[in-house]
Amino acid sequence: MKKIGLVIFPGFQALDLSVLTPFELANSLAPKPVYELAILSETGGMVSTTMGVSVDSKAFGPDAADTLLIGGSTSIPTASPGLLKKLRAVAPRTRRIGSVCTGAFILAETGLLDGRQATTHWYAARDFQMQFPAVKVMEDRIYTTDEGIWTSAGMTACIDMALAMLSDDLGSEMSRAIARKMVVYHQRPGGQSQFSALLELEPRSDRIRNVFNFIKRNLRSELSVEQLADVAHLSPRQFTRIFQTETGQSPARAVERIRVESARILIESGGHTIERVAEHTGFDDTERMRRAFRRILGQPPQSFKPIRSNGKMAA
């Protein structure tokens, strides 16, 4: 039996309990039960949710779980020193350790995410990156996995992560069957960027908003900092500065994101070759586009093609 432990804390998001559901269903679909599920907390006992209702839990020790998952909240959680200590003690003895939603903040506080890929709820991604600069935030991913350390994005993304874990443990057939039973995608198309909060963040001033519009309408031109500064009627230096404070990202970065975003949408809609998409979005070169995809989305353009037999998900 493999132990799956979900660590919760006062004020956790009840929806995150559903990360356990795929494992529960695996038990009923497999010939004999495979997983032992546990809800854990620092001291055990009743733990309140954001919903108001409470959930019972057990205290946990260093051998708590094969797979230890940390729940999230609707706000940014902080862990008590005691909980952090326990987590650090358990981590080396688990096969997988991971987080759900903003649980990534707690996981990151243990230091386990330093130098690793991780994701969290898109709404908190920017704060997360500022608070933990050593973590490679993949804000566009539904979930990430990096050497036994897993993180999932907001809310229901934890189900996608759990399905991927099941696919590793029991094979993709089983994982697929469970997805069907839960009435969710087995491999959900696209990233979180369908919400694209970072790009929708409306700049406050007209100058910068104009620049955004200019970029969107002129994807195929060069879009250098110099050129954009010109559009904004500012010097390159002042332009980068204002752009940065209003959008939270640098101009070149934003251009790249918008290009990748548009390209991804084109690819997902189908009917265009990768070359055509690269031309149309101003990448020109498919290799350059591929690298930008890997940088921002973590996956190459190919993986966003409409699903035929098996579109591959995060590796």
Task: Please give the residue ranges that form the binding site for DNA (CB under 7 A).
Answer: 224-226, 234-238, 240-242, 244, 250-253, 285, 287-288, 291-292, 295
Whose Cβ is closer to DNA: residue 63's or residue 287's? 287
Whose Cβ is closer to DNA: residue 88's or residue 253's? 253
Residue type, 189: P
Pair 118, 149: CB distance under 8 Å:
yes
Query: Is residue 65 classed as helix, strand or coil in its secondary structure?
Result: coil
H-helix or E-strand spanning residue 150: strand 149-152
> Cβ of residue 17: shortest distance to DNA, in angstroms?
38
Quickly count: other Cβ atoms within 10 Å of residue 82's Cβ: 10
> Cβ of residue 198: shortest distance to DNA, in angstroms?
14
Q: Residue 233: CB partners within 8 Å, gap ≥ 6?
A: 207
Task: Tell me the angle at which helices 236-247 and 225-232 cross, rounded to the nearest 10 degrees.
Answer: 80
Annotate 223-240 with b (16+ C-beta within 10 A) or e (fewer).
bebebbbebbebebeebb
> Cβ of residue 283: shortest distance to DNA, in angstroms?
8
Q: How far, in Å, CA of 36 to CA of 56, rounded?
A: 16
Whose Cβ is closer to DNA: residue 56's or residue 226's? 226
Task: Tell me the angle at which helices 157-170 and 172-182 cross, rounded to the nearest 10 degrees.
Answer: 150
CA distances from 109 to 24, 83, 104, 127, 198 (A): 29, 11, 8, 14, 24
Whose Cβ is closer to DNA: residue 180's or residue 216's? 216
Handedness of CA 22, 24, 28, 30 (dihedral sign): positive
Whose Cβ is closer to DNA: residue 85's or residue 237's? 237
Q: How far, in Å, CA of 260 to CA of 281, rounded?
A: 8
Whose Cβ is closer to DNA: residue 24's or residue 256's? 256
Whose Cβ is closer to DNA: residue 188's or residue 253's? 253
> Cβ of residue 224: shortest distance to DNA, in angstroms?
4
> Cβ of residue 24: shortest distance to DNA, in angstroms?
42
Q: Where are the alpha helices (DSSP H) in 111-205?
A: 125-131, 157-170, 172-182, 197-200
> Cβ of residue 227: shortest distance to DNA, in angstroms?
8
> Cβ of residue 236: shortest distance to DNA, in angstroms?
6
Whose Cβ is closer to DNA: residue 90's or residue 278's? 278
Residue where the block lists tokens 């970065």: 253
> Cβ of residue 264: shortest distance to DNA, in angstroms?
16
Query: Is residue 35 classed as helix, strand or coil in its secondary structure?
Result: strand
Quickly count: other Cβ atoms within 10 Å of residue 29's Cβ: 14
